[in-house]
Amino acid sequence: MRRCRTPLRFERRALVDLGGIGRVGATRTAKGPPTASVPARHQNQLACRHVSRTPLGPTRPAAGDRTAKSRRRQSCRTRRRSHLRVASPPPTQPYLGHHAPTGGPSRLGGSRPHQSEHPNGQSKPHHLERHPMKRITVFFACVLATASLFTQTEPELQKLEQIIAVVGNEIVLQSDVDAQVFQMEASGMPVTDVCPVVEQLMLQKLLLHQARLDSVEVDDGEVAAQIDRRLEYYISMFGSVEAFEAEYGKTVAAWKAEFREPMREQIMADRMQAEIEGQVRATPRDIADHFNAIPADSLPLIPEEVRYSRILIEPELTEQQKLTTRIALDSIRGAVVAGKLSLTLAAMRHSEDPGSKYKGGCYEDIRRGQFVPEMEAQVFATPEGAFSPVFETDYGFHFVKTTNIRGEVFSMCHVLMKPTVPASALANAAALADSITVMLSADSLTFEEAVSQFSTEEGTKNQYGRVINPRTGGLFHGVDELERTDFFLINELRPGEHSQPTAVQGAEQEAYALYRLDERKPAHAANPQQDYELFQMQVESDIRQKKLAKWVRRRLAETYVRLIADYDGCAFDQNWFGETAAQGR
């Protein structure tokens, strides 16, 4: 029998039988893996075009083959009229698992006949049977041969996209599972069981299905902002824009365009979930019941934590000292612009930015929002290859050379010079810190008043000196999280005591600081008295999960769901195929 015909083109699309639900078309381009790009409703027509329109090789088909060619074309036309619709499937769906033996029972019950019966009871020869499955078999045989040809002629062509589940009008692809696993492992969460990932994706599709029914809308600006945040994370993970583009085989712009609709769907699902869960607030009784239900030997051990405050005294700079620094840096800039001094050498000799000093003063592939606004404003206002004037930030004085701008991502080189702090200014800061200590000891000034009057640290001044834990956003810090200097100063204090003035490194320069220990929590077994917020978050999370699970059970009774046999062994939290569900298995 002649091989089925397929186009000899560099860009190829094909449809391959899942042994389950199906595969969607995949496109292989010059770089990067195949990408799913063909809607399910067009896949059969596309495959038929491959089978019937382009010769396989230089030889013409023999005359005897033309009848078979005509049959294949007729099969494709028939298939076009009855192609699979994922949405709103009929009661008797095709079986989902791998092919059952011919004539044997399918996964949905019934059997597949070997042959049709004549009215007189005689069996009709198999090759004369007019059952639609005959045409479908011919069609899939051709397409499977096409896929085999792709594998033989282009080994690098990757496995086509596989639909692993259908939830209502939504589908879950194998690539969705792979992408989620990749993201979790990149975040330091090893995945030993893929079943929870599959269930989470099915839950997301169920939420999305309901969101579409409820006409939930998402603003384009919100989608763009979420994409930018996700892109920033990926670029930081890969190290540069170039590495990101090499990994994905497409430009940032192409990636953002492709990711826009999945991100919109994610936001819609999240919004639907938030609407289902509603406002949740745990009462003290809820927290007490939750605590009493936990066996004593199962309570987690909370490490020692401290809550503390700080006063920071930085030396004051005069306008003359700032002017001296600006003039010196402007002279260096003039030499660089005139070609008398290279920017790389200027940075290595004069820059006080340790992050770029030995890299020629350069930063590459920085997303807008990561640097101080004054610097980014100068970068985007300066043409590529040109130098900005000298300008001031909280870190000192700079000039920049903009080397590349691509949308919201930029590369630049700069030189930073900080005004020299004279010994007299540092001595004045030390003397002020000593005076504050005396007043605190004499109770003539409270710690909060001293913060308000003298502290130069903006981040703590508005919090009465209290230092926020950047990881949790709370006030308590695990002792193992503290900076070395902070730990040794605080560890010797009792609650309510303050330290002596200590020289520390401030954000820009050397400074003096006083610390007060506000509270210390020894290591202990978790309990509501000491860890109320921890128990409150846990109880509220449980309440939200129960509300969502109840909603899922109710929706599954009205929603069509099916899953390929590969995941039959998964122990899902939800009974996706229970007796009350609109089953598809």
Q: What pLDDT score does 372 carry?
A: 87
pLDDT in tens, 189-222: 888 899 999 999 999 999 999 999 999 888 888 8
| 3-class SS letters over 356-419 | CHHHCCEEEEEECCCCCHHHHHHHHHCCCCCECCCEEECCEEEEEEEEEEECCEEEEEEEEECC
pLDDT in tens, 509-523: 788 999 999 999 999
Residues of the chain falling short of pLDDT 50:
1-159, 579-581, 583
Q: pTM of the prediction?
A: 0.49
The CATH code of the domain at 167-282+542-583 is 1.10.4030
Q: What pLDDT score does 507 carry?
A: 60
In whole angstroms, give the CA distance from residue 488 to residue 473: 23
Q: What pLDDT score does 210 carry?
A: 94
For residue 515, list its beta bridge partners: 310
With tokens 């059970």, the residue in question is 553
Looking at domain 305-314+422-522, its CATH class is: alpha beta
Pick the CATH number of 319-417 from 3.10.50.40, 3.60.21.10, 3.10.450.50, 2.40.50.140: 3.10.50.40
Q: What pLDDT score does 249 carry?
A: 85
Alpha helices, H only, 293-367: 319-337, 343-350
Residues of the chain with CATH 3.10.50.40: 305-314+422-522, 319-417
List of long-range contacts for 342-348, beta carbons under 8 Å, 24+ apart: 343/401, 343/413, 343/415, 346/415, 347/413, 347/414, 347/415
Residues of the chain with CATH 1.10.4030: 167-282+542-583
